[in-house]
Chains A and B, each alone.
Chain A
Protein backbone atom coordinates (compact mmCIF):
# COMPACT_ATOMS: atom_id res chain seq x y z
CA UNK A 1 0.00 0.00 0.00
CA UNK A 2 2.79 2.39 0.91
CA UNK A 3 4.31 1.69 -2.49
CA UNK A 4 1.08 2.63 -4.26
CA UNK A 5 0.79 5.80 -2.20
CA UNK A 6 4.37 6.66 -3.08
CA UNK A 7 3.65 6.30 -6.79
CA UNK A 8 0.46 8.34 -6.51
CA UNK A 9 2.34 11.15 -4.78
CA UNK A 10 4.93 11.20 -7.56
CA UNK A 11 2.18 11.15 -10.18
CA UNK A 12 0.57 14.15 -8.48
CA UNK A 13 3.83 16.11 -8.34
CA UNK A 14 4.66 15.39 -11.96
CA UNK A 15 1.09 16.11 -13.05
CA UNK A 16 1.50 19.60 -11.61
CA UNK A 17 4.77 19.98 -13.51
CA UNK A 18 3.20 18.68 -16.73
CA UNK A 19 0.15 20.93 -16.38
CA UNK A 20 2.36 23.93 -15.75
CA UNK A 21 4.64 23.31 -18.71
CA UNK A 22 1.72 22.55 -21.02
CA UNK A 23 0.49 26.12 -20.62
CA UNK A 24 3.73 27.41 -22.10
CA UNK A 25 4.66 24.69 -24.60
CA UNK A 26 1.32 23.17 -25.58
CA UNK A 27 -0.93 26.19 -25.51
CA UNK A 28 1.42 29.08 -26.29
CA UNK A 29 3.90 27.17 -28.47
CA UNK A 30 7.00 28.37 -26.62
CA UNK A 31 9.45 25.50 -26.40
CA UNK A 32 10.62 26.14 -22.86
CA UNK A 33 13.10 23.66 -21.39
CA UNK A 34 13.68 25.17 -17.98
CA UNK A 35 10.76 23.97 -15.91
CA UNK A 36 13.04 22.02 -13.55
CA UNK A 37 14.65 25.31 -12.55
CA UNK A 38 11.36 26.66 -11.18
CA UNK A 39 10.57 23.29 -9.65
CA UNK A 40 13.97 23.56 -7.95
CA UNK A 41 13.46 27.12 -6.74
CA UNK A 42 10.23 26.04 -5.05
CA UNK A 43 11.94 23.02 -3.51
CA UNK A 44 14.94 24.96 -2.23
CA UNK A 45 12.87 27.81 -0.85
CA UNK A 46 10.75 25.39 1.14
CA UNK A 47 13.76 23.35 2.25
CA UNK A 48 15.79 26.35 3.38
CA UNK A 49 12.95 28.18 5.15
CA UNK A 50 11.68 25.07 6.92
CA UNK A 51 15.15 24.01 8.03
CA UNK A 52 16.58 27.39 8.99
CA UNK A 53 13.52 29.10 10.44
CA UNK A 54 11.29 26.16 11.21
CA UNK A 55 8.77 27.89 9.02
CA UNK A 56 5.40 26.35 8.32
CA UNK A 57 5.31 24.38 5.03
CA UNK A 58 2.40 26.32 3.60
CA UNK A 59 3.99 29.68 4.25
CA UNK A 60 7.27 28.45 2.76
CA UNK A 61 5.35 27.26 -0.28
CA UNK A 62 3.79 30.71 -0.76
CA UNK A 63 7.18 32.38 -0.41
CA UNK A 64 8.55 29.86 -2.93
CA UNK A 65 5.84 30.90 -5.36
CA UNK A 66 6.69 34.58 -4.86
CA UNK A 67 10.41 33.91 -5.36
CA UNK A 68 9.67 31.94 -8.52
CA UNK A 69 7.42 34.68 -9.83
CA UNK A 70 10.19 37.24 -9.38
CA UNK A 71 12.87 35.08 -11.00
CA UNK A 72 10.64 33.84 -13.81
CA UNK A 73 9.57 37.35 -14.71
CA UNK A 74 13.23 38.22 -15.27
CA UNK A 75 13.90 35.02 -17.21
CA UNK A 76 10.67 35.41 -19.19
CA UNK A 77 11.55 38.98 -20.13
CA UNK A 78 14.96 37.92 -21.42
CA UNK A 79 13.48 34.95 -23.28
CA UNK A 80 10.91 37.18 -24.96
CA UNK A 81 13.77 38.45 -27.13
CA UNK A 82 14.17 35.00 -28.68
CA UNK A 83 12.13 32.96 -31.12
CA UNK A 84 11.77 29.26 -31.93
CA UNK A 85 14.99 27.26 -31.64
CA UNK A 86 16.79 30.14 -29.97
CA UNK A 87 14.05 30.31 -27.38
CA UNK A 88 14.56 26.64 -26.56
CA UNK A 89 18.32 27.08 -26.31
CA UNK A 90 18.00 30.22 -24.20
CA UNK A 91 15.58 28.55 -21.82
CA UNK A 92 17.89 25.61 -21.41
CA UNK A 93 20.70 28.03 -20.59
CA UNK A 94 18.64 29.32 -17.68
CA UNK A 95 18.10 25.80 -16.38
CA UNK A 96 21.87 25.33 -16.35
CA UNK A 97 22.44 28.68 -14.62
CA UNK A 98 19.92 27.96 -11.85
CA UNK A 99 21.37 24.49 -11.42
CA UNK A 100 24.86 25.98 -11.06
CA UNK A 101 23.60 28.36 -8.41
CA UNK A 102 22.13 25.42 -6.46
CA UNK A 103 25.40 23.58 -6.80
CA UNK A 104 27.75 26.46 -5.98
CA UNK A 105 25.99 28.73 -3.51
CA UNK A 106 27.09 26.40 -0.78
CA UNK A 107 26.36 28.75 2.11
CA UNK A 108 22.69 28.53 1.24
CA UNK A 109 22.24 25.16 -0.45
CA UNK A 110 25.17 23.09 0.85
CA UNK A 111 25.88 22.39 -2.83
CA UNK A 112 26.14 18.74 -3.81
CA UNK A 113 25.69 17.61 -0.20
CA UNK A 114 22.07 18.67 -0.43
CA UNK A 115 19.65 19.62 2.33
CA UNK A 116 18.51 16.74 4.57
CA UNK A 117 15.91 16.73 7.31
CA UNK A 118 13.26 18.86 5.65
CA UNK A 119 10.04 18.74 7.65
CA UNK A 120 6.59 17.59 6.67
CA UNK A 121 3.63 19.97 6.38
CA UNK A 122 1.79 20.91 9.54
CA UNK A 123 -1.83 21.96 9.46
CA UNK A 124 -3.75 23.02 12.61
CA UNK A 125 -1.21 21.17 14.73
CA UNK A 126 -1.61 18.06 12.58
CA UNK A 127 1.65 16.88 11.03
CA UNK A 128 1.25 15.10 7.71
CA UNK A 129 4.04 12.65 8.43
CA UNK A 130 1.90 9.75 7.23
CA UNK A 131 2.24 9.34 3.49
CA UNK A 132 -1.49 8.77 3.17
CA UNK A 133 -2.19 12.19 4.66
CA UNK A 134 0.51 13.72 2.48
CA UNK A 135 -1.13 12.16 -0.57
CA UNK A 136 -4.37 13.96 0.26
CA UNK A 137 -2.49 17.27 0.25
CA UNK A 138 -0.87 16.37 -3.08
CA UNK A 139 -4.26 15.50 -4.56
CA UNK A 140 -5.78 18.76 -3.36
CA UNK A 141 -2.98 20.83 -4.88
CA UNK A 142 -2.97 18.82 -8.10
CA UNK A 143 -6.70 19.35 -8.50
CA UNK A 144 -6.22 23.02 -7.74
CA UNK A 145 -3.55 23.37 -10.44
CA UNK A 146 -5.66 21.35 -12.86
CA UNK A 147 -8.72 23.55 -12.33
CA UNK A 148 -6.62 26.70 -12.59
CA UNK A 149 -5.18 25.44 -15.88
CA UNK A 150 -8.66 24.64 -17.16
CA UNK A 151 -9.91 28.09 -16.17
CA UNK A 152 -7.01 29.77 -17.94
CA UNK A 153 -7.14 27.70 -21.11
CA UNK A 154 -10.90 28.03 -21.47
CA UNK A 155 -10.88 31.79 -21.04
CA UNK A 156 -10.49 34.34 -23.80
CA UNK A 157 -6.91 34.67 -22.57
CA UNK A 158 -6.33 30.98 -23.31
CA UNK A 159 -7.63 31.35 -26.84
CA UNK A 160 -5.19 34.19 -27.45
CA UNK A 161 -2.35 31.95 -26.23
CA UNK A 162 -3.24 29.42 -28.91
CA UNK A 163 -3.44 32.13 -31.55
CA UNK A 164 0.06 33.26 -30.53
CA UNK A 165 1.22 29.68 -30.97
CA UNK A 166 -0.32 29.57 -34.45
CA UNK A 167 0.79 32.96 -35.79
CA UNK A 168 2.00 35.62 -33.41
CA UNK A 169 2.32 38.34 -36.05
CA UNK A 170 -1.26 37.90 -37.20
CA UNK A 171 -2.77 38.03 -33.74
CA UNK A 172 -0.82 41.27 -33.22
CA UNK A 173 -2.47 42.68 -36.31
CA UNK A 174 -5.79 41.97 -34.61
CA UNK A 175 -4.75 44.12 -31.69
CA UNK A 176 -3.15 41.88 -29.08
CA UNK A 177 0.04 42.84 -27.27
CA UNK A 178 1.43 39.35 -27.40
CA UNK A 179 4.47 39.82 -25.18
CA UNK A 180 2.27 40.53 -22.15
CA UNK A 181 0.44 37.26 -22.76
CA UNK A 182 3.62 35.29 -23.19
CA UNK A 183 5.23 36.75 -20.09
CA UNK A 184 2.17 36.30 -17.91
CA UNK A 185 1.65 32.66 -18.83
CA UNK A 186 5.35 31.96 -18.34
CA UNK A 187 5.18 33.38 -14.81
CA UNK A 188 1.97 31.52 -13.94
CA UNK A 189 3.52 28.31 -15.21
CA UNK A 190 6.68 28.85 -13.15
CA UNK A 191 4.62 29.53 -10.03
CA UNK A 192 2.78 26.24 -10.49
CA UNK A 193 6.05 24.35 -10.92
CA UNK A 194 7.28 25.83 -7.69
CA UNK A 195 4.30 24.28 -5.85
CA UNK A 196 5.44 20.89 -7.15
CA UNK A 197 8.94 21.67 -5.87
CA UNK A 198 7.73 22.49 -2.35
CA UNK A 199 5.75 19.26 -2.25
CA UNK A 200 8.71 17.25 -3.48
CA UNK A 201 11.12 18.71 -0.91
CA UNK A 202 8.77 18.09 1.97
CA UNK A 203 7.84 14.61 0.79
CA UNK A 204 11.33 13.24 0.20
CA UNK A 205 12.67 15.38 3.12
CA UNK A 206 15.99 15.63 1.30
CA UNK A 207 16.94 17.54 -1.83
CA UNK A 208 20.11 18.10 -3.80
CA UNK A 209 20.72 19.83 -7.15
CA UNK A 210 20.58 16.57 -9.12
CA UNK A 211 16.78 16.58 -9.04
CA UNK A 212 16.67 19.85 -10.97
CA UNK A 213 19.05 19.25 -13.84
CA UNK A 214 18.28 19.89 -17.50
CA UNK A 215 17.39 16.21 -17.94
CA UNK A 216 14.52 16.73 -15.52
CA UNK A 217 13.15 19.56 -17.69
CA UNK A 218 13.31 17.23 -20.66
CA UNK A 219 11.49 14.57 -18.63
CA UNK A 220 8.68 17.06 -17.93
CA UNK A 221 8.59 17.97 -21.60
CA UNK A 222 8.32 14.28 -22.47
CA UNK A 223 5.32 13.99 -20.13
CA UNK A 224 3.31 16.51 -22.11
CA UNK A 225 4.49 15.43 -25.53
CA UNK A 226 3.44 11.90 -24.61
CA UNK A 227 0.17 12.71 -22.89
CA UNK A 228 -0.89 15.45 -25.24
CA UNK A 229 0.11 19.01 -25.94
CA UNK A 230 -2.52 21.67 -25.31
CA UNK A 231 -4.65 19.28 -23.30
CA UNK A 232 -4.75 19.44 -19.51
CA UNK A 233 -5.98 15.88 -19.05
CA UNK A 234 -3.23 14.81 -21.40
CA UNK A 235 -0.62 16.31 -19.07
CA UNK A 236 -1.94 14.19 -16.20
CA UNK A 237 -2.10 11.10 -18.39
CA UNK A 238 1.50 11.73 -19.47
CA UNK A 239 2.62 11.92 -15.84
CA UNK A 240 0.84 8.64 -15.06
CA UNK A 241 2.51 6.88 -18.00
CA UNK A 242 5.97 8.26 -17.30
CA UNK A 243 5.87 7.38 -13.60
CA UNK A 244 4.31 3.95 -13.97
CA UNK A 245 6.24 2.75 -16.98
CA UNK A 246 9.51 1.93 -15.18
CA UNK A 247 7.49 0.17 -12.47
CA UNK A 248 5.75 -1.86 -15.13
CA UNK A 249 9.13 -2.85 -16.52
CA UNK A 250 10.12 -4.17 -13.12
CA UNK A 251 6.95 -6.19 -12.85
CA UNK A 252 7.52 -7.72 -16.25
CA UNK A 253 10.61 -9.21 -14.68
CA UNK A 254 13.51 -6.91 -15.42
CA UNK A 255 15.91 -6.72 -12.49
CA UNK A 256 15.76 -3.39 -10.67
CA UNK A 257 19.07 -2.00 -11.96
CA UNK A 258 18.34 -2.92 -15.54
CA UNK A 259 14.81 -1.56 -15.26
CA UNK A 260 16.24 1.74 -14.07
CA UNK A 261 18.63 1.90 -16.99
CA UNK A 262 15.97 0.74 -19.42
CA UNK A 263 13.84 3.68 -18.33
CA UNK A 264 15.65 6.26 -20.42
CA UNK A 265 15.76 3.95 -23.42
CA UNK A 266 12.07 3.17 -23.21
CA UNK A 267 11.16 6.85 -22.89
CA UNK A 268 13.29 7.63 -25.91
CA UNK A 269 11.80 4.86 -28.04
CA UNK A 270 8.28 5.75 -26.93
CA UNK A 271 8.76 9.39 -27.90
CA UNK A 272 10.13 8.48 -31.31
CA UNK A 273 7.25 6.07 -32.03
CA UNK A 274 4.81 8.75 -30.94
CA UNK A 275 6.38 11.45 -33.11
CA UNK A 276 6.00 9.16 -36.10
CA UNK A 277 2.48 7.91 -35.52
CA UNK A 278 0.80 10.47 -33.34
CA UNK A 279 2.69 13.76 -33.11
CA UNK A 280 0.01 15.42 -31.00
CA UNK A 281 0.46 12.85 -28.19
CA UNK A 282 -2.10 10.41 -26.84
CA UNK A 283 -4.79 13.05 -26.30
CA UNK A 284 -3.26 16.28 -27.51
CA UNK A 285 -4.68 19.12 -29.58
CA UNK A 286 -1.49 20.46 -31.04
CA UNK A 287 1.37 19.09 -33.11
CA UNK A 288 4.81 20.57 -32.51
Chain B
Protein backbone atom coordinates (compact mmCIF):
# COMPACT_ATOMS: atom_id res chain seq x y z
CA UNK B 1 0.00 0.00 0.00
CA UNK B 2 1.31 3.41 -0.86
CA UNK B 3 2.09 5.88 1.89
CA UNK B 4 1.99 8.86 -0.43
CA UNK B 5 0.85 9.27 -4.00
CA UNK B 6 0.43 12.03 -6.52
CA UNK B 7 -2.28 12.00 -9.14
CA UNK B 8 -1.82 13.93 -12.41
CA UNK B 9 0.13 16.64 -10.63
CA UNK B 10 0.70 19.74 -12.71
CA UNK B 11 2.82 22.84 -12.27
CA UNK B 12 3.15 25.62 -14.80
CA UNK B 13 5.88 28.28 -14.65
CA UNK B 14 5.17 31.23 -16.95
CA UNK B 15 3.21 29.13 -19.39
CA UNK B 16 5.70 26.23 -19.38
CA UNK B 17 4.77 22.98 -17.67
CA UNK B 18 7.57 21.93 -15.33
CA UNK B 19 5.48 19.05 -14.06
CA UNK B 20 2.79 17.88 -16.43
CA UNK B 21 0.28 15.40 -15.03
CA UNK B 22 2.67 13.18 -13.11
CA UNK B 23 1.36 10.32 -10.97
CA UNK B 24 3.82 8.69 -8.59
CA UNK B 25 3.40 6.47 -5.60
CA UNK B 26 5.75 5.81 -2.70
CA UNK B 27 5.72 2.79 -0.44
CA UNK B 28 7.06 2.18 3.05
CA UNK B 29 10.16 0.04 3.36
CA UNK B 30 11.16 0.79 -0.22
CA UNK B 31 13.57 3.11 -1.95
CA UNK B 32 11.76 4.72 -4.86
CA UNK B 33 13.99 6.61 -7.27
CA UNK B 34 12.93 9.47 -9.48
CA UNK B 35 15.30 10.07 -12.36
CA UNK B 36 15.41 12.02 -15.58
CA UNK B 37 17.50 14.57 -17.47
CA UNK B 38 18.34 17.96 -16.00
CA UNK B 39 15.32 20.22 -15.77
CA UNK B 40 12.78 17.43 -16.14
CA UNK B 41 10.96 18.49 -12.99
CA UNK B 42 12.30 16.27 -10.21
CA UNK B 43 13.03 19.04 -7.71
CA UNK B 44 9.81 20.82 -8.63
CA UNK B 45 7.94 17.60 -7.86
CA UNK B 46 9.46 17.55 -4.36
CA UNK B 47 8.65 21.24 -3.90
CA UNK B 48 5.01 20.59 -4.75
CA UNK B 49 4.69 17.59 -2.46
CA UNK B 50 6.33 19.31 0.52
CA UNK B 51 4.11 22.37 0.19
CA UNK B 52 6.90 24.73 -0.78
CA UNK B 53 5.01 25.93 -3.83
CA UNK B 54 1.36 25.66 -4.91
CA UNK B 55 0.46 23.52 -7.92
CA UNK B 56 -2.04 24.06 -10.68
CA UNK B 57 -3.82 20.76 -10.94
CA UNK B 58 -3.92 17.20 -9.63
CA UNK B 59 -3.90 15.71 -6.13
CA UNK B 60 -1.53 14.56 -3.46
CA UNK B 61 -2.87 11.83 -1.21
CA UNK B 62 -1.56 10.42 2.05
CA UNK B 63 -2.43 6.78 2.60
CA UNK B 64 -5.83 5.87 1.21
CA UNK B 65 -7.63 9.19 0.93
CA UNK B 66 -6.21 12.04 2.99
CA UNK B 67 -5.78 14.91 0.54
CA UNK B 68 -3.03 17.42 1.26
CA UNK B 69 -3.39 19.55 -1.88
CA UNK B 70 -1.74 22.94 -1.65
CA UNK B 71 -1.39 22.76 2.09
CA UNK B 72 1.18 25.07 3.68
CA UNK B 73 4.57 23.42 4.22
CA UNK B 74 4.26 23.40 8.04
CA UNK B 75 1.03 21.41 7.80
CA UNK B 76 2.44 18.99 5.24
CA UNK B 77 5.25 18.28 7.70
CA UNK B 78 2.74 17.02 10.24
CA UNK B 79 1.94 14.15 7.85
CA UNK B 80 5.48 12.89 8.24
CA UNK B 81 6.90 14.24 4.99
CA UNK B 82 10.37 15.75 4.93
CA UNK B 83 13.23 16.41 2.53
CA UNK B 84 16.78 17.48 1.80
CA UNK B 85 17.61 20.32 -0.55
CA UNK B 86 19.63 19.81 -3.70
CA UNK B 87 21.46 23.07 -3.04
CA UNK B 88 21.92 22.82 0.74
CA UNK B 89 19.78 25.30 2.66
CA UNK B 90 21.18 25.20 6.16
CA UNK B 91 20.65 27.56 9.06
CA UNK B 92 23.97 29.15 8.26
CA UNK B 93 24.66 31.34 11.27
CA UNK B 94 23.75 28.61 13.73
CA UNK B 95 25.91 25.78 14.96
CA UNK B 96 25.76 22.34 13.42
CA UNK B 97 24.29 21.01 16.66
CA UNK B 98 21.60 23.72 16.68
CA UNK B 99 20.74 22.85 13.08
CA UNK B 100 19.74 19.41 14.33
CA UNK B 101 18.24 20.44 17.67
CA UNK B 102 15.83 22.85 16.00
CA UNK B 103 14.43 19.92 14.04
CA UNK B 104 13.93 17.81 17.17
CA UNK B 105 12.26 20.27 19.51
CA UNK B 106 8.70 21.20 20.43
CA UNK B 107 6.41 22.49 17.64
CA UNK B 108 3.88 24.20 19.92
CA UNK B 109 4.76 27.90 20.20
CA UNK B 110 3.94 28.29 23.88
CA UNK B 111 5.36 24.99 25.01
CA UNK B 112 8.57 25.73 23.12
CA UNK B 113 9.07 28.85 25.25
CA UNK B 114 9.45 26.68 28.32
CA UNK B 115 11.52 23.95 26.73
CA UNK B 116 15.30 23.88 27.11
CA UNK B 117 17.57 21.74 24.96
CA UNK B 118 17.76 19.03 27.55
CA UNK B 119 20.17 16.13 27.55
CA UNK B 120 17.58 13.95 25.87
CA UNK B 121 17.54 16.03 22.69
CA UNK B 122 21.28 16.60 22.73
CA UNK B 123 21.91 12.87 22.95
CA UNK B 124 19.74 12.19 19.91
CA UNK B 125 21.31 15.05 17.96
CA UNK B 126 24.85 13.91 18.76
CA UNK B 127 24.05 10.34 17.81
CA UNK B 128 22.78 11.53 14.43
CA UNK B 129 25.84 13.72 13.86
CA UNK B 130 28.06 10.71 14.59
CA UNK B 131 26.07 8.64 12.14
CA UNK B 132 26.78 11.06 9.28
CA UNK B 133 30.33 11.57 10.52
CA UNK B 134 30.26 15.33 11.22
CA UNK B 135 30.24 15.08 15.01
CA UNK B 136 33.57 16.92 15.38
CA UNK B 137 31.98 19.88 13.62
CA UNK B 138 29.07 20.15 16.03
CA UNK B 139 30.08 23.51 17.51
CA UNK B 140 31.02 25.07 14.17
CA UNK B 141 28.66 27.41 12.40
CA UNK B 142 27.03 25.70 9.43
CA UNK B 143 28.36 28.45 7.18
CA UNK B 144 31.90 27.20 7.83
CA UNK B 145 31.29 23.63 6.62
CA UNK B 146 32.73 22.24 3.39
CA UNK B 147 30.34 21.38 0.56
CA UNK B 148 30.34 17.69 1.40
CA UNK B 149 29.74 18.38 5.08
CA UNK B 150 26.83 20.63 4.14
CA UNK B 151 25.24 17.79 2.18
CA UNK B 152 25.74 15.50 5.18
CA UNK B 153 24.11 18.01 7.52
CA UNK B 154 21.14 18.15 5.14
CA UNK B 155 20.86 14.38 5.48
CA UNK B 156 21.29 14.56 9.25
CA UNK B 157 18.31 16.92 9.53
CA UNK B 158 16.12 14.46 7.66
CA UNK B 159 17.28 11.61 9.89
CA UNK B 160 16.42 13.84 12.86
CA UNK B 161 12.93 14.42 11.48
CA UNK B 162 12.59 10.65 11.28
CA UNK B 163 13.48 10.32 14.97
CA UNK B 164 11.17 12.93 16.44
CA UNK B 165 9.30 11.48 19.37
CA UNK B 166 6.13 13.47 18.72
CA UNK B 167 5.36 12.53 15.14
CA UNK B 168 8.32 11.08 13.33
CA UNK B 169 8.64 11.56 9.58
CA UNK B 170 8.30 8.42 7.50
CA UNK B 171 8.35 9.80 3.97
CA UNK B 172 11.83 11.07 3.22
CA UNK B 173 12.84 12.85 0.03
CA UNK B 174 16.53 13.00 -0.83
CA UNK B 175 17.27 15.43 -3.67
CA UNK B 176 20.65 14.37 -5.12
CA UNK B 177 22.21 13.57 -1.74
CA UNK B 178 25.37 12.12 -3.30
CA UNK B 179 26.34 15.05 -5.50
CA UNK B 180 29.74 16.39 -4.50
CA UNK B 181 30.54 13.68 -1.94
CA UNK B 182 33.84 11.78 -1.72
CA UNK B 183 33.57 8.03 -2.48
CA UNK B 184 33.73 6.93 1.17
CA UNK B 185 30.96 9.41 1.99
CA UNK B 186 28.91 8.03 -0.90
CA UNK B 187 29.21 4.62 0.75
CA UNK B 188 28.14 6.05 4.08
CA UNK B 189 25.10 7.81 2.62
CA UNK B 190 23.96 4.80 0.63
CA UNK B 191 24.18 2.63 3.73
CA UNK B 192 22.11 5.22 5.61
CA UNK B 193 19.45 5.16 2.88
CA UNK B 194 19.30 1.37 3.11
CA UNK B 195 19.01 1.52 6.89
CA UNK B 196 16.16 4.02 6.64
CA UNK B 197 14.43 1.74 4.16
CA UNK B 198 14.90 -1.22 6.50
CA UNK B 199 13.39 0.83 9.33
CA UNK B 200 10.26 0.98 7.18
CA UNK B 201 10.56 4.52 5.87
CA UNK B 202 9.38 5.41 2.40
CA UNK B 203 12.66 6.66 0.94
CA UNK B 204 12.53 8.74 -2.24
CA UNK B 205 15.80 9.23 -4.08
CA UNK B 206 16.47 11.74 -6.84
CA UNK B 207 19.82 10.90 -8.39
CA UNK B 208 21.78 11.05 -11.64
CA UNK B 209 24.34 8.31 -10.93
CA UNK B 210 23.09 5.16 -12.64
CA UNK B 211 25.22 2.77 -10.59
CA UNK B 212 23.71 4.12 -7.38
CA UNK B 213 20.22 3.93 -8.84
CA UNK B 214 20.82 0.28 -9.75
CA UNK B 215 22.26 -0.51 -6.34
CA UNK B 216 19.59 1.20 -4.25
CA UNK B 217 16.27 1.35 -6.04
CA UNK B 218 13.33 -0.92 -5.43
CA UNK B 219 11.34 1.00 -7.98
CA UNK B 220 12.30 3.69 -10.50
CA UNK B 221 10.25 6.44 -12.12
CA UNK B 222 11.67 8.22 -15.14
CA UNK B 223 10.51 11.74 -15.90
CA UNK B 224 11.22 13.62 -19.08
CA UNK B 225 10.25 17.24 -19.73
CA UNK B 226 7.80 17.18 -16.86
CA UNK B 227 6.10 13.98 -17.98
CA UNK B 228 6.07 10.42 -16.76
CA UNK B 229 8.20 8.49 -19.27
CA UNK B 230 8.67 5.05 -17.76
CA UNK B 231 8.72 3.08 -14.53
CA UNK B 232 9.76 -0.29 -13.19
CA UNK B 233 12.87 -1.89 -11.73
CA UNK B 234 16.18 -0.25 -12.52
CA UNK B 235 16.91 -3.08 -14.94
CA UNK B 236 13.60 -2.54 -16.74
CA UNK B 237 13.91 1.19 -17.19
CA UNK B 238 17.56 1.17 -18.24
CA UNK B 239 16.75 -1.21 -21.06
CA UNK B 240 13.78 0.90 -22.14
CA UNK B 241 14.45 2.50 -25.54
CA UNK B 242 12.54 5.68 -24.69
CA UNK B 243 14.59 6.20 -21.55
CA UNK B 244 17.89 5.71 -23.38
CA UNK B 245 16.85 8.20 -26.01
CA UNK B 246 15.75 10.75 -23.42
CA UNK B 247 19.18 10.59 -21.79
CA UNK B 248 21.18 10.53 -25.02
CA UNK B 249 19.11 13.33 -26.50
CA UNK B 250 19.90 15.47 -23.47
Interface residues of A (CB under 8 A from B): 152, 154-157, 159-160, 162-163, 165-167, 169-178, 180-181, 184, 285-287
Tell me which residues across on chain B come within 8 A of A152, comparing CB atoms: 113
Interface residues of B (CB under 8 A from A): 50-52, 72-74, 76-78, 82-83, 85, 89-94, 98, 101-103, 105-107, 109, 112-117, 157, 161
Complex Cα distance A154/B76, Å?
28
Q: Which of A157, A159, A171, A174 contacts B109 (CB 8 A)?
A: A157
- Name which of B52, B78, B91 has the most chain A CB atoms within 10 A of its CB: B91
Q: Which residue of A lies closest to B81 (CB)?
A: A173
Q: Which of B50, B72, B101 contacts A159 (CB 8 A)?
A: B101
Q: Which of A154, A167, A174 contacts B161 (CB 8 A)?
A: A174
Complex Cα distance A181/B73, Å?
16
Complex Cα distance A167/B102, Å?
12
Q: Which of A156, A162, A163, A170 contacts B106 (CB 8 A)?
A: A156
- B112→A160 contact, CB < 8 A: yes
> Nearest chain A CB to B97's CB is how many angstroms away?
10
Q: Which residue of B lies closest to A177 (CB)?
A: B74
- B94→A163 contact, CB < 8 A: yes
Complex Cα distance A165/B93, Å?
9
Tell me which residues across on chain B come within 8 A of A180, comparing CB atoms: 109
> Nearest chain B CB to A139's CB is how many angstroms away?
25
Q: Which residue of B lies closest to A29 (CB)?
A: B93
> Nearest chain A CB to B77's CB is how many angstroms away?
3
Tell me which residues across on chain A come within 8 A of B90, comparing CB atoms: 166-167
Tell me which residues across on chain A come within 8 A of B109, comparing CB atoms: 157, 177, 180-181, 184
If A169-B52, A173-B77 touch, does A155 touch B114 (CB 8 Å cutoff)?
yes
Tell me which residues across on chain B come within 8 A of A286, comparing CB atoms: 93
Q: Which residue of A lies closest to B79 (CB)?
A: A175
Complex Cα distance A173/B47, Å?
10
Kindly list 9 other residue pairs between chains A and B, CB separation below 8 angstroms, not including A172-B72, A173-B74. A156-B101, A156-B102, A156-B117, A159-B102, A162-B91, A167-B90, A167-B91, A173-B51, A174-B77
Q: List 24 A-B contacts (CB under 8 A).
A: A155-B113, A156-B105, A156-B112, A156-B113, A156-B116, A157-B112, A159-B102, A159-B117, A162-B93, A162-B98, A163-B91, A163-B94, A163-B102, A166-B93, A170-B89, A172-B77, A173-B50, A173-B76, A173-B77, A174-B161, A175-B77, A177-B74, A177-B109, A181-B109
Q: Which residue of A lies closest to B117 (CB)?
A: A156
Complex Cα distance A169/B91, Å?
11
Tell me which residues across on chain A come within 8 A of B51, comparing CB atoms: 172-173
Tell me which residues across on chain A come within 8 A of B117, comparing CB atoms: 156, 159
> Nearest chain A CB to B7's CB is how many angstroms away?
22
- A159→B105 contact, CB < 8 A: yes
- Name which of A152, A166, A285, A287 has the most chain B CB atoms within 10 A of its CB: A166
Complex Cα distance A184/B117, Å?
20
- B102→A170 contact, CB < 8 A: no
Tell me which residues across on chain A come within 8 A of B115, comparing CB atoms: 155-157
Complex Cα distance A268/B122, Å?
43
Q: Which of B73, B77, B93 contacts A169 (CB 8 A)?
A: B73
Tell me which residues across on chain A come within 8 A of B157, comparing CB atoms: 174
Closest CB pairs A-B (n = 10): A175-B77, A156-B105, A166-B91, A157-B112, A156-B115, A172-B73, A156-B112, A157-B113, A180-B109, A172-B74
Complex Cα distance A174/B78, Å?
9
Complex Cα distance A175/B117, Å?
18
Q: Which residue of A lies closest to B50 (CB)?
A: A173
Tell me which residues across on chain B come within 8 A of A173, comparing CB atoms: 50-52, 73-74, 76-77, 82-83
Tell me which residues across on chain A come within 8 A of B78, comparing CB atoms: 175
Complex Cα distance A181/B112, Å?
10
Tell me which residues across on chain B come within 8 A of A177, comparing CB atoms: 74, 109
Complex Cα distance A172/B115, Å?
19
Complex Cα distance A171/B82, Å?
11
- Name which of A154, A159, A167 has the most chain B CB atoms within 10 A of its CB: A159
- B98→A159 contact, CB < 8 A: yes
Tell me which residues across on chain A come within 8 A of B52, comparing CB atoms: 169, 173
Complex Cα distance A177/B72, Å?
9
